[in-house]
Amino acid sequence: MTAVHARRRVAPPPPQADPTETLTGPGRAVRIVAAVVANTTLLTALLYFFGLVATQVFFEHFRVHYTLLGQTPDEILARGADGLFVPLAGIAFAVLTAAFLARFLKARLSARRWAALLRVCTPAAAVLGLLLLGVTAPITVNPEPFRAYPGLPGLGFAVGVVLVAFAWRRWGSRSGRGAALGPVESVAAFLLVAIGLFWAVGDYSASVGTRRGFEIEAQVPWMADAVVYSTDSLNLAGEGVRQVACAQPDAAYKYRYDGLKLLLQSGGQYVFLPAVWRSSAGTAFVVPRTDSLRLEFGPPGSTPPPTC
């Protein structure tokens, strides 16, 4: 008898499911948003935009148009970072606190109590979210009443969208149809949240520019005194600014101006302020940086000689 040996075939393992395919709509939306945010070009553009907002408001405080100074990208990006640190830290802290609180309550409460808590939170989130959207949406038409609260309207809009999306998703889960937010709806919700945060950070960056302007104004009396020598008359006239004609006929510089403070130099331009400059009634001088000028600096409040 011939022994027939049956060949045993090892069944191939079942195909592993791609973890990305099991993600729900919000999970896929998070991956999309994360891929966009990871783009350094986008982050640089955001820094530049918020820095430009802060730059415009800062120089507006001194009544100087920012386009005259040719601010470099490095200067604008630095102001953008100045206006982004606090909002980013605040948003990250709020998200982390909410996530930790949710995990803590879910671990401490029984499944029944956790479900009861969600049943109470769902309608409350819907009502609060709709209320926030109803209050903040009209502010886009007339933002003046909320100028004293920079960033708050945009933040309220973003939180309102999050609360409404949370409530809608919970109701969809309770109805037995699974997640109520698909990829399209989730991306739309993330886009609205991003618009709200963009609005909030833009307002905050503008407030940072205003605050920096007031800080510089308070420091003007303690800045080094600037004395400007010029070969030609600059006709600088302002409170506390004095023009002195040099008596020596062979002097390289014919005129001297004192009572000034140097605010900054940028784009080949000097920006001078009178030593007694005030935002309520003060003049800023934009003077081209040329070889016909010479600058000297001394301690604040120093008395220059009566002649050149």
- Whether 32 is covered by a domain: the verdict is yes
For residues 197 and 266, state if they share a domain.
no
Whether residue 66 is contained in a domain is answered as yes
Per the structure, the complete domain to which residue 94 belongs is given by 25-219
Count the domains in the chain: 2
Q: Do residues 159 and 294 share a domain?
A: no
DSSP secondary structure string for all residues of the chain: -PPP-PPPPPPPPPPPPPTTTT--HHHHHHHHHHHHHT-HHHHHHHHHHHHHHHHHHHHHHTT--GGGTT--HHHHHHHHHHHHHHHHHHHHHHHHHHHHHHHHHHHHS-HHHHHHHHHHHHHHHHHHHHHHHHHHGGGGT--GGGTTSTTHHHHHHHHHHHHHHHHHHHHHHHTTS--S--HHHHHHHHHHHHHHHHHHHHHHHHHHHHHHHHHHHHHGGGSPEEEEEESS------TT-EEEE---TT-S--EEEEEEEEEEEETTEEEEEETT--SSS---EEEE--TTEEEEEE-TTPPPPS--
Helix axes 183-219, 25-37, angle to 10 degrees: 40
**Token reading at 132:** 């926030």
- Do 116 and 261 share a domain, yes or no? no
Identity of the residue numbered 290: T
Instruction: Tally the C-alpha atoms within 13 A of residue 281's C-alpha that lie toward its C-beta.
Output: 3
For residues 283 and 163, membership in a common domain is answered with: no
Final residue belonging to a domain, choices 219, 237, 271: 219
Please tell me whether residues 209 and 258 are part of one structural domain.
no
**Domain match, 197 and 153 both:** yes
Instruction: Report the 10 Å Cβ neighbour count for 299.
Output: 8
Do residue 81 and residue 196 come from a single domain? Answer: yes
109 part of a folded domain: yes
Residues 106 and 248 occupy one common structural domain: no
Q: What is the reported pLDDT for 20?
A: 43
How many whole angstroms separate alpha carbon 261 and alpha carbon 291? 20
248 with 174, same domain: the answer is: no
Residues 206 and 171 in one domain: yes
pLDDT tens across 126-146, in order? 999 999 999 998 888 888 778
Q: 194-207, pLDDT tens digit by residue?
A: 999 999 999 999 99
Residue 6: inside a domain: no
Are residues 117 and 78 located together in one domain of the fold? yes
Tens place of pLDDT per residue across the chain (308 aa): 444 444 444 445 555 544 444 455 566 666 766 666 666 777 888 899 999 999 999 999 999 999 999 899 999 999 998 888 888 888 889 989 998 999 999 889 888 998 888 889 889 999 999 999 999 988 888 887 788 888 899 999 999 999 999 888 888 766 555 556 678 888 899 999 999 999 999 999 999 999 999 999 999 999 999 999 999 999 998 888 999 998 787 888 899 999 999 999 998 999 999 999 998 888 999 999 999 999 999 999 888 887 77
Which of 186, 202, 219 is the endpoint of a domain? 219
Interacting residues of 242 by C-beta distance below 8 A, sequence separation 6+? 257, 258, 259
> Residue written as tokens 């008359």?
233
Percentage of residues in the chain having pLDDT higher than 90: 50
Q: Which amino acid is at 267?
A: G
Selection from 307, 306, 259, 266 nearest residue 289 by Cα:
266
3 found inside a domain: no
Query: Final residue of a domain: which of 158, 189, 219?
Result: 219
The structure tokens 């502010």 sit at: 139
Q: Is residue 146 part of a domain?
A: yes
Shared domain check, 110 and 62: yes
